[in-house]
Homo-oligomer: A and B are copies of this chain.
Amino acid sequence: MAGAQGSASAKVCRDPFSSVPPVRVGMKQSVVRPPTETDVARLAGVSQSAVSRAFTPGASVAEQTRTKILEAAQELGYQPNLMARSLATRRSNIVALAISSLENPFYAQVVKELSHRLAETNRHILLFATSPEVEADPALERVLSYQVDALILTATTAPFELALHCQKAGIPIVQINRASKLPGISTVSGENRRAGERVAAFLLAGGHKRFGYIGGGVASSIGKERQDGFTEHLRIKGVRTVQVAFGEYTFEGAAAAARELLGSAAPPDAIFCASDYMAFAVLDVARREFGLNVPGDVSVIGFDDVPEAGHSAYDLTTYSQPAAALVAEAIKIIDIRIARPQGRAIRREVRGEIVVRGSARVPIG
């Protein structure tokens, strides 16, 4: 609807001084094809291959001819055609990035970080914003067509078919923040199990009695680890039951989950959420819909430590999962796997810690 409204009423903004006709009209300046290595070669008086070598680090060119070539290239405004280069070298310097929850600030951070880190080695990102509902995005299947050097998935998992194809083609796959049972798929994540344990300990020390957990999807393997760490530590300490609900990693889903938990007969006085983004929804529901005081009536702890968690509107106590470190590991893994495509999958965990803010009662003493 918004789209229809927008396009229907869009008005073209004309120059107010319309009596003066724009000079450019009629010049037509037809579209010019960009210069090629052959053009540069002609100008520099060398062969095309020489030009290619001048732009290939480590190739054999005399310093003198190289500068001559670079000058000619400069003069023509030459830029290597990466499509042609990719075709010849079978490497595109493009990394495909599939992501499902861009609205979650944590993943926005990941994307940003990835873009910067990859740019340092002259690589770029082909972005696939998949829908969380759709497991196997048809667009993703086309990844192979682009001859990407690697595939990074965040907040999604690679469908079996894709994983198989990539393995055959020697394209490394790394999943950030999603586990995988498939062979050949590397993963990077925060310390999920340990996070669950430490949050449980923190909340116990804070004197909480009834515990809730709001996870992502029932099938979320990563979330499962957090949940297991959380509930098992509690059980060891004598807590029998943990109320569990799932928010599908969405804001609305988490809000519904919060309503379920907080509206129950014996509502929890401590809730651990599988992501900060969901924790925000829980805070909203607890305060506005249930009129609860946080952390007086209920403590809420998140996971990720996104920048917003530090904003005073939320002031969320959380377990950190540093995006920069995750990304750094992911890129390291990619480079290893590119060097040895037939190697085996690599799994890494990045350390985090409890970041104490104001949304959970603090252990006394």
Q: Which residues in A have some Cβ–Cβ distance to B below 8 Å?
A: 2-3, 5-7, 9-13, 22, 24, 28-34, 77, 79-84, 86-87, 92, 94, 97, 102-103, 105, 108-109, 111-112, 115-116, 119, 122, 124-129, 131, 139, 142, 144-147, 165, 167-170, 183, 251, 280-281, 283-284, 287-288, 307, 311-314, 322, 324-326, 328-329, 332, 339-344, 346-351
Q: How many copies does the complex hold?
A: 2
Q: How far is the CB of A332 from chain B (nearest CB, A)?
A: 7
Q: Which residue of B lies closest to A339 (CB)?
A: B2
Q: Which residue of B lies closest to A34 (CB)?
A: B169
**Residues of chain B with a CB closer than 8 A to A351's CB:** 5-6, 9-10
Q: How far is the CA of A127 from the CA of B127 in the complex (A)?
A: 6
Contact in complex: B350, A10 (CB < 8 Å)? yes
Q: How far is the CA of A82 from the CA of B147 in the complex (A)?
A: 8
Contact in complex: A102, B112 (CB < 8 Å)? yes
**Residues of chain B with a CB closer than 8 A to A22's CB:** 344
Contact in complex: A12, B346 (CB < 8 Å)? yes
Contact in complex: A125, B124 (CB < 8 Å)? no
Q: Which 3 A-B pairs have the closest CB atoms?
A: A6-B325, A31-B170, A115-B129
Contact in complex: A94, B312 (CB < 8 Å)? no
**Residues of chain B with a CB closer than 8 A to A341's CB:** 31
**Residues of chain B with a CB closer than 8 A to A103's CB:** 105, 108-109, 112, 307
